[in-house]
Amino acid sequence: MTTELWDFDHGMEVEAQVTVLPLVRTPFQGEDYLAARLEFELLSDEGALDLSHVLMSHTEQPAEVRIVDPVTLEIQMTAVSSDGEQPLDFYGLDEEYILPGQRASWIAYFGDTGFDETAMLLPYFGLVEDIEVVDPEDLEDELREGYHMLEDLEHPPERLEARTYPGDVYRERDGGEVSIRDDDGQATLTMDSDVLFDIDEHELDDDADAALQAAAEELERLEGGELFIIGHTDDVLDEDYNQALSERRAESVQDRLDELTDLSVFDVTVEGRNFQEPVADNSTEEGRAQNRRVELKFELPEMEDLSDLESIGSIPDPEGPVGGADDVLVVGAEDGREAEISVEEVYQAGNLLVGRLSVEITENAQGHDSSGVLAWPFSFGADEAREDQDALGQGGQADALTLLIGDSRVFPLEMSGRGFLVGVDDDGGFIVEDLPWYAPMADAYFGGGQGAAEGVRGTVTVLWPLVSSEEVTIDVPVETEHGSREGYDPWRFEEVPVDG
């Protein structure tokens, strides 16, 4: 696979090639892992390729290379190791900086997928599909040695742990007052309590019906099953007070939903959990507002069909430049920066949509010699796009590229979990801080943190859940429920065809 990348050191575009060799099963400490091997080559006659900016984030190395199963939507980061004292990312790159005609190898380890083939998301290059998964005996000896099999390592890690996560589907209804997260078939519909109730009240506000009607429409897509209605609070005042408040608020939501739709098809449980399950930091007003919420939890089909969302509500009116699939949009910001953006392609891969969009900087910010990071037309920047800050991207992630269907805004597929590795205990085990996090399946360090001046260009990749096999609307908003691009143009591409 080849692609064009920007060489920031020489101010030019270069052509690079990556070869993804088969993933090879390699046992270690009673578990099966996969050894990955990528070969990079600079094809251009001049310039250079800095792979440290291509493959790695400077905050969470090597955050960029992920295994993604297009059918099950399961996602893997590279395995993490322990030397007995601290957690370490376990990978190897023999050359970070290559010149024309030179090659570099990247070696890493993942958990065994259990399948004979898979796909890999590579920044700038895109989604590499149909990667074989083989046993060591299927390789020639010379090729096998290049993998550094775990059982052959001279200094193996004391402990190795695969990092595998289900792909979450996250979307918001128009206005963002209702959000729905599908975590491996377990859905959580969230309504902020500040939309439903006045402070310290449990009687529904006069304006609560819009969010509750949206919630009722979501429930009508289901055929019954268990339904949990759960109230949550912030940690202001004591636990007993907040427990009672969370219970009364959940009961009020149940009563109104039962008037809006038929809840008799569900096995309903209503409960309050006070401030025991925060999704944000209770030390800030913004965090406390996010923690004040009512959640509906229910099961979804194994692979939810999102195409029916087209019949629920209508796509909101555009707020900025609008184009078709073959158009080039000019977008800008209040500081004078401008860029041209275009759609290269959108195609279906299993239960995924793969989008490739290009950007070229045409105007620097006023008084500056660049327009900031290359990702700015595609990104919420360092602001939050969800309940919690993207753990693996610090402003260069392409997380603002959403799809509109009906009145739903569908965000990039994301991996999410609870727990950051913060150390190693006396037995060499990993110490995990129990906090939620997420990371969108899109280029997460687009532009490598470099200042993008006039003429700099690049192509970003984003993975969305399958919402349509025919055409899509790509939309970058100014604001969502938990994210803001204030000062930057919103923009939209309509009627973008989906290739098979």
Q: DSSP for 437-476?
A: EEEESB-SSTTTT----TT-EEEEEEEEE---SSEEEEEE
Tokens, residue 148: 């550094």
Which CB contacts under 8 angstroms, 24+ apart, belong to 132-140?
132/22, 132/23, 133/22, 133/23, 133/24, 133/25, 133/34, 134/22, 134/23, 134/24, 134/25, 135/24, 135/25, 136/24, 136/25, 136/26, 138/22, 139/22, 139/24
DSSP code of 197? Answer: B
- Between the alpha carbon of residue 344 and those of residues 14, 152, 328, 349, 462, the distances in Å are 18, 43, 10, 16, 12
In the chain the first and final C-alpha atoms are separated, in Å, by: 19
Coil vs helix vs strand at 55: helix
Q: Give the residue ranges of DSSP H helices in 131-208.
A: 141-145, 193-196
What contacts 215, CB < 8 A, 6 or more positions away? 178, 189, 191, 257, 296
CATH architecture of 2-165: Sandwich (2.60)
Burial class from Cβ neighbours inside 10 Å (0-12, 13-18, 19+) for residue 140 reads: exposed
Q: Which residues of the chain have pLDDT under 70?
A: 57-63, 83-89, 382-395, 420, 435
Note the Cα 75 to chain centre separation in Å: 10
- Give alpha helix (H) positions in 182-323: 193-196, 209-219, 239-260, 285-291
Q: Sign of torsion, CA 38 112 79 160?
A: negative
Which amino acid would we find at residue 237?
L
Q: In angstroms, rounded to a whole number, what is the distance separating the alpha carbons of residues 478 and 486?
A: 6
Domain map (residue ranges) of the chain: 2-165, 186-299, 315-497
**The pairing of beta strand 225-232 with beta strand 266-272:** parallel
Number of Cβ within 10 Å of residue 31's Cβ equals: 14
CATH number for the segment(s) 186-299:
3.30.1330.60
Residue 467 Cα distances to 66, 304, 306, 405, angstroms:
22, 10, 5, 8
- Dihedral of CA atoms 466, 471, 474, 480 in degrees, nearest 10, equals -50
Please state the length of the chain: 500
Classified by CATH at the fold level, domain 315-497 comes out as Immunoglobulin-like (2.60.40)
**pLDDT at 370 (0 to 100):** 87
Two domains, one topology: 2-165 and 186-299: no
Nearest to 494 by CA among 311, 339, 377, 346: 346
Say if residues 433 and 420 touch (Cβ distance below 8 Å): yes
* Per-residue pLDDT, 448: 81
Burial profile 101-112: b = 16 or more Cβ within 10 angstroms, e = fewer: eeebbbbbbbbb
Relative orientation angle of helices 209-219 and 239-260, to the nearest 10 degrees: 70
Read off the DSSP letter of residue 22: P
Residue 10 CA to residue 6 CA, distance in Å, equals: 9
- pTM for the structure as a whole: 0.93
